[in-house]
Amino acid sequence: MQGKGVIKFFAILLAIVCIYQLSFTWVANKVEDDAKAHAKGDAAKEAAYLDSMSTQPVYPLFGHTYQYCLDRELALGLDLKGGMSVTMQISLRELVQALANNNPDPAFKQALAEAEKGVVETQKDYITLFVDAYEKLAPNAKLAALFANSSNQDKIKFNSSNSEVEKYLQDQSSSAVQQSFTVLRRRVDQFGVTQPNIQLQKSTNRILIELPGVKEPDRVRKLLSGSAKLEFYQTYDNTEVYALLNNVNSLLGAKAKTAAKADTSKKDTAKAATTAKAPTSLKDSANSLLNKLKNANSKDTSALANKSQLAAQNPLFSVMSLVTYPDANNQQQLAPGPIVGYSQVKDTAKVNELLHSPEATGVLPRNIKFLWGVKPIEKTKVYQLYAIKLAGAENGPVLSGDVITDAHKDVNQQNGGYEVIMNMNSQGAQKWKNITAEASAGANKRAIAIVLDDNVYSAPNVQNEISGGVSSISGNFKMEDTEDLANVLKAGRLLAPARIVGSEVVGASLGAEAISAGLLSCVLGLVVILIFMIAYYNRAGTVAVVAVLVNVFFLMGVLVSIRAVLTLPGIAGIILILGVAVDANVLVYERTREELGLGKSLRLAIADGFKHALPSILDANISTFLTGVILFVFGSGPIQGFATTLMIGIVTTLFCSLLISRLLFEFMLEKGWDIQFSRPWSSHTFKNANFGFVKNRFKFYAFSGIFIAAGLVSMVTRGFNYGVDFGGGRTYLVKFPNKAATTDQIHEELDKSLGFGSEVKTYGADKISITTNYLINDQSVDADDKVEAALVQALKANPVTTITAKDILSHSKVEATVANELKASAKWTIIIAILVISAYILIRFRKWQFSLGAMVATAHDALMVLSFFSLFKDLLPFSLDIDQAFIAALLTVIGYSINDTVVVFDRIREFLHLPSERNSSTKDIINHAINNTLSRTIITALTVVLILLVLFLFGGDVLRGFSFALLIGVLFGTYSSICVATPVIIDFGKKDLK
Q: pLDDT, tens digit, for every residue of 104-131? A: 888 998 998 888 887 766 667 888 889 9
CA distances from 254 to 263, 275, 305, 804 (A): 15, 10, 21, 46
pLDDT digits over 792-820, tens only? 888 888 888 888 888 887 777 766 656 66
pLDDT digits over 172-184, tens only? 888 888 878 877 7
pLDDT digits over 495-508, tens only? 677 777 777 776 65
pLDDT digits over 2-47, tens only? 678 888 888 899 999 999 999 998 998 899 889 888 888 887 788 7
What is the pLDDT, as a whole number, of residue 494? 60
What is the pLDDT, as a whole number, of residue 23? 92
Residues 925, 672 contacting (CB under 8 angstroms): no
The gap between the terminal CA atoms of the chain, to the nearest Å, is: 35
pTM: 0.68
CA pair distance 930, 908, nearest whole angstrom: 8
What is the pLDDT, as a whole number, of residue 174? 84
pLDDT above 80 (res 465) = yes
pLDDT above 60 (res 367) = yes
- Residue 344 φ/ψ region, left for φ over 0, alpha for ψ in the -120 to 50 degree band, beta for the rest: beta
Please state, as a whole number, how many other Cβ atoms lie within 10 Å of the Cβ of residue 3.
10
Tell me the average pLDDT of the chain. 80
CA distances from 80 to 33, 506, 574, 734 (A): 19, 9, 15, 18
Instruction: Supply φ then ψ for residue 504, to 5 degrees.
Output: -145, 130
- Do the strands 332-334 and 808-814 form a parallel or antiparallel pair, or are they unpaired? unpaired
| DSSP 8-class letter at 373 | B
Amino acid at 611: K
CA pair distance 240, 339, nearest whole angstrom: 11
CA pair distance 43, 401, nearest whole angstrom: 41
Which residues face 173 on adjacent strands? none
pLDDT above 90 (res 825) = no
Mean pLDDT over residues 254-281, rounded? 52
* Sign of the CA dihedral with 727 first, then 732, 733, and 737 last: negative
Mean pLDDT over residues 737-759, rounded? 77
What is the pLDDT, as a whole number, of residue 709? 95
Ranking 290-299, 510-519, 815-824, 873-882 by mean pLDDT, the lowest is 290-299
What is the pLDDT, as a whole number, of residue 339? 93
From the list 148, 333, 132, the residue with the least C-alpha distance to 242 is: 333
Task: Work out the burial of residue 910: count CB atoms within 10 Å of its CB; fewer than 13 is exposed, 13-18 middle, 19 or more buried.
Answer: middle
Coil, strand, or helix at residue 635? Answer: coil
pLDDT digits over 182-222, tens only? 777 777 766 666 667 777 766 667 787 877 777 677 777 77
pLDDT above 70 (res 282) = no
What is the pLDDT, as a whole number, of residue 2? 67
| Percentage of residues of the chain with pLDDT beyond 90 | 10
* Res. 270 pLDDT band, cuts 50 70 90: very low
Query: HSE of 289 in the Cβ direction (CA atoms, 13 Å)?
Result: 26
Mean pLDDT over residues 783-789, rounded? 83
The number of angstroms, rounded, from the C-alpha of 264 to the middle of its chain's C-alpha atoms is 58
* Sign of the CA dihedral with 886 first, then 889, 895, and 900 last: negative
Coil, strand, or helix at residue 343? Answer: strand
Residues 856, 980 contacting (CB under 8 angstroms): yes
Coil, strand, or helix at residue 451? Answer: strand
Mean pLDDT over residues 829-857, rounded? 82
Residues 122, 820 contacting (CB under 8 angstroms): no
Long-range contacts formed by 24-28: CB under 8 A, 24+ apart = 24/59, 24/64, 24/68, 24/69, 24/70, 24/72, 24/73, 24/560, 25/73, 25/74, 25/560, 27/58, 27/59, 27/64, 27/66, 27/69, 28/66, 28/69, 28/70, 28/73
Write down how long the chain is: 994
Instruction: Supply φ then ψ for residue 408, to 5 degrees.
Output: -150, 155
Element (H, E) at 501: strand 498-506
Coil, strand, or helix at residue 688? Answer: coil
From the list 44, 84, 55, the residue with the least C-alpha distance to 345 is: 55
The number of angstroms, rounded, from the C-alpha of 766 to the middle of its chain's C-alpha atoms is 29
Ranking 280-289, 314-323, 557-566 by mean pLDDT, the lowest is 280-289
| DSSP 8-class letter at 337 | S
Helix, strand, coil % over all residues of the chain, rounded to 5: 60, 15, 25
Ranking 59-68, 197-206, 503-512, 545-554 by mean pLDDT, the lowest is 503-512
What is the pLDDT, as a whole number, of residue 272? 37
Mean pLDDT over residues 921-939, rounded? 82
Contacts of 605 (CB under 8 A, 6+ apart): 592, 595, 596
What is the pLDDT, as a whole number, of residue 868? 93
pLDDT above 70 (res 307) = no
Task: Work out the burial of residue 807: count CB atoms within 10 Å of its CB; fewer than 13 is exposed, 13-18 middle, 19 or more buried.
Answer: middle
- Residue 924 φ/ψ region, left for φ over 0, alpha for ψ in the -120 to 50 degree band, beta for the rest: alpha
pLDDT above 60 (res 263) = no
Which CATH class name applies to 729-814? alpha beta
- Do the strands 332-334 and 324-326 form a parallel or antiparallel pair, or are they unpaired? antiparallel
User: Using alpha carbons only, what angle is made at residue 155 by residues 150 and 93, rounded to the nearest 5 degrees?
Assistant: 85
Amino acid at 779: Q
What is the pLDDT, as a whole number, of residue 297? 46
Mean pLDDT over residues 530-546, rounded? 88
Burial call 821-831: b when 16+ CB within 10 Å, e when fewer:
bbbebbeebbe
Which CATH class name applies to 400-493? alpha beta
CA distances from 974 to 720, 936, 941 (A): 25, 11, 7
CA pair distance 612, 609, nearest whole angstrom: 5
Strand residue runs (E) in 368-474: 368-372, 382-389, 399-400, 404-411, 418-424, 448-452, 455-458, 470-474
